Amino acid sequence: MRTILTAAALLATTATAIAQTPPAPAPRPAPVVTYIHAGQLLDRPGQRARGQSTIVVRDGKIAEIRDGFAAPEAGAKLVDLKDHYVLPGLIDMHVHLYSTGYPLQARLDETTKDLEDGLLTAMQSARKTLDAGFTTVRDLGGEPRGTRALRDAIARGDVEGPTIVNAGRMVSVTAGHGDANGLRRDFAHVEREGSPELCNGADDCRRATREQIFTGAEVIKFAASGGVGSNIAGGLEAQMTLEEMKAIVDTAHAFGRKATAHAHGKSGIDTALRAGVDSIEHGSYIDDETIALFKARGAYLVPTMHAFESVIRQGRAGERPAASVAKAEQVATVVKESHRRAFASGMKIAFGTDSGVGPHGTNGLEFGYMTAVGMKPIDAIRTATVEAATLLGRADRIGTIEVGKDADIIAVAGDPVADVARLNDVGFVMRRGAVHKLGGQRQGFPAR
């Protein structure tokens, strides 16, 4: 009996020792290496292209940039873009992945589509956006938890899409641009029950901002003024007080987030700037005083000219309510001159389209709208790379093709600095080292 007990104790001791012994580390996988031969390399938009170059990508990062066409090392993949113009992945600072850009159909779908359907729509929108060469986007309004889930799934490599910086829902005051205006009583009641982003007064707006952070928002958006797309004849001037705006901005900054303001009318823009906002979306009515405020505060304008063109077209086709159409036509008379003035002033501009108001995947049209009112093509490209990355606070990771940064790289046939319309047909897309599109064709996912 004693022998049996001794043997059992020995076995137990041995088992414990085995359990406490750490397992041998798994063999480290070989690094994924890709060589890109670029005919022309615009590595830092705003500076001259550097000619024939080789970009070496290792495990999703830019490891080397060499002059000329270097022979790939053993085991590396080669992407031949010798007849292409290579530049950093583009950044769109204003999209709505949950919206399709077809407002009439969206209204018809409201009573039959659920949150799950919306997430699938957002996934499709994300894929179209990446196809168009936009490797990073800022989603400024959609279903908060769904957008967060999509953001994280893309980051893990589970689904295709651009890197997402999400805002959750837009913070708004009662009857403001973000409220459930124009809905019948029972629909409005249901909509408002799930709208913690609505607020009134500074303390309540602090609460609403924290609610968005709670649901995963990485940036905060608020409606400083009336909006073109909302179904209420409320004008386009300020709808929040300075105290409400400042409460939102200060709360966002306290949580390490930037804040951006939807603002059309001058009073909404100027008040948001005085409240310390980091950027203004749309900026339809801009005068010299407003430009001086932008410069004094160091804030960015995100023009979203694509959205203006889309809303006007949709309104004239009968796809939008009368209140929205009237505001769109009002803005159409001034917005191009406002943006022309802003561009000429040298103030900070970051690229954004408001895609979701117009169709996703057509983001590149914004470059044409910007150059049509006086911006040079190279400056327009810079707004979608260097400047957008800076506004995001991610200039150390994206916006240029430099050693150590994420391998977010695109290519087009022909020189986009000479003809910015080339950016409407992006033939090659790499995001964080994964080839998404090559030769104009989407690759199997994931493709490394």
Asked if residue 198 lies in contact with residue 179, where contact means CB atoms within 8 angstroms, the answer is yes
Closest by CA position to 363, among listed 403, 420, 312:
420
Indicate if 50 and 180 belong to the same structural domain: no
User: Which domain-ending residue is among 372, 392, 412?
Assistant: 392
The pLDDT of residue 180 is above 80: no
- What pLDDT is attached to residue 106? 58
Q: Is residue 407 situated within a structural domain?
A: yes
Indicate if 385 and 305 belong to the same structural domain: yes
pTM of the prediction? 0.88
Indicate if 39 and 146 belong to the same structural domain: no
Indicate if 67 and 136 belong to the same structural domain: no
* Cα separations in angstroms, 399 against 145, 165, 409: 27, 15, 10
- What pLDDT is attached to residue 332? 75
pLDDT grade for 367, boundaries at 50, 70 and 90: very high
Asked if residue 88 lies in contact with residue 410, where contact means CB atoms within 8 angstroms, the answer is yes
Q: Is residue 79 situated within a structural domain?
A: yes
Indicate if 47 and 173 belong to the same structural domain: no
Indicate if 249 and 384 belong to the same structural domain: yes
Which residues, 6 or more positions from 251, have their beta carbon under 8 angstroms from its beta carbon? 205, 206, 209, 210, 220
Q: Is residue 16 situated within a structural domain?
A: no
Phi-psi category of 431—alpha, beta or left, where left has phi over 0 and alpha has psi -120 to 50?
beta
Indicate if 85 and 96 belong to the same structural domain: no
Indicate if 169 and 83 belong to the same structural domain: no
Indicate if 98 and 85 belong to the same structural domain: no
**In the chain, how many domains are there?**
2
Q: Write the CATH number for 180.
A: 3.20.20.140
pLDDT in tens, 191-203: 555 668 899 999 9
Q: Are strands 134-139 and 90-95 parallel, antiparallel or unpaired?
A: parallel
Mean pLDDT of 143-167: 97
Indicate if 76 and 94 belong to the same structural domain: no
pLDDT grade for 281, boundaries at 50, 70 and 90: very high
- What pLDDT is attached to residue 11? 52
Closest by CA position to 93, among listed 307, 272, 397:
307
Which residue's entry shows tokens 């063109």?
309
Tokens of 419: 């003809």
The pLDDT of residue 251 is above 90: yes
Count CB neighbours of 313 within 10 A: 13
> Residue 446, preceding bond cis, omega within 30 degrees?
yes
Q: Is residue 27 situated within a structural domain?
A: no
Q: Write the CATH number for 75.
A: 2.30.40.10
- pLDDT > 90: percent of the chain: 72
Indicate if 245 and 369 belong to the same structural domain: yes
The pLDDT of residue 395 is above 60: yes
- What pLDDT is attached to residue 19? 46
Indicate if 381 and 406 belong to the same structural domain: no
Q: Is residue 8 situated within a structural domain?
A: no
Given 3-state DSSP classes, what are the helix, strand and coil percentages for the chain, each rounded to the nearest 5? Answer: 40, 20, 40
- What pLDDT is attached to residue 52? 98
Q: Is residue 6 situated within a structural domain?
A: no
In terms of residue numbers, what domain contains 58? 33-89+402-442
